[in-house]
A = this chain, B = another copy of it.
Amino acid sequence: MPKRNKIIAVYPGSFDPLTNGHLDIIKKASAMFPEIIIAAANNLNKNHCFSLQDRLSMIKEAVKDIKNVKAAAFDGLVADYLARINSFILIRGLRAVSDFEYEFQMALMNRNLNAKIETIFLMPDLDYTFLSSSLVKEIAILGGKTVKFVPPCVEKKLKLLRKR
């Protein structure tokens, strides 16, 4: 197990796209742990709206001012990714009961695949309780304003969805 001042916490997800809810979780985590890696999944089986390249560059732009936070992409199982980078802490946000059940199942599975992994759950600020990447995309497609829900660099990309 790494020394406490070398602890790396991983925040994995699709980030398709990153929302202000994700950003809130990242800020909270960055105050707790020495290093945070935001890990964007390169899951070819999922239909992502934005390419891995786009998702990653939006994250990098949004977190550029938070010193101990990096962004990276990963292939395969998140449990294997943590083993490769010598991390044992997985960070996830919890907004509601439905989140909770899915996240619990994933946390149990990840612990089963790699016994060292601990998942810690953080709660976003109330203002982000109702936010999700898919809802934000739906609003953008239906012509609604998303400026309150995502960082400026994501807002620009979302506007392009409308015009498709």
A138 CA / B41 CA spacing, docked (Å)? 13
A10-18, A28-36, A50-58, A152-160: which lies at the B interface? A28-36
- Residue in B28, B77, B123 whose beta carbon sits within 8 Å of that of A139 in the complex: B77
A28 CA / B90 CA spacing, docked (Å)? 13
Which residue from chain B places its CB closest to the CB of A100 in the assembled complex?
B100
- Residue in B77, B94, B100, B123 whose beta carbon sits within 8 Å of that of A143 in the complex: B77
Known: A76-B143, A120-B120, A141-B45. A101 touches B104 (CB 8 A): no
- Interface residue count on the A side (C-beta < 8 Å): 55
- Would you call A113 an interface residue if the criterion is a C-beta within 8 Å of the partner chain's C-beta atoms? yes
Q: Restricting to A83-123, which residues have a CB under 8 Å from any CB of B?
A: 88-89, 94, 96-98, 100-102, 104-109, 111-113, 118-123
- Residue in B7, B111, B127 whose beta carbon sits within 8 Å of that of A32 in the complex: B7
Q: How far is the CB of A63 from chain B (nearest CB, A)?
A: 17
Known: A31-B1, A100-B100. A123 touches B127 (CB 8 A): no
Assess the B94–A97 pair: CB atoms within 8 A. no
A5 CA / B94 CA spacing, docked (Å)? 26
A89 CA / B122 CA spacing, docked (Å)? 11
- Would you call A163 an interface residue if the criterion is a C-beta within 8 Å of the partner chain's C-beta atoms? no
Query: In the assembled complex, which residues on chain B have CB atoms less than 8 Å from the CB atom of A118?
Result: 28, 31-32, 122-123
Q: How far is the CB of A126 from chain B (nearest CB, A)?
A: 5
Query: In the assembled complex, which residues on chain B have CB atoms less than 8 Å from the CB atom of A139?
Result: 77, 109, 113
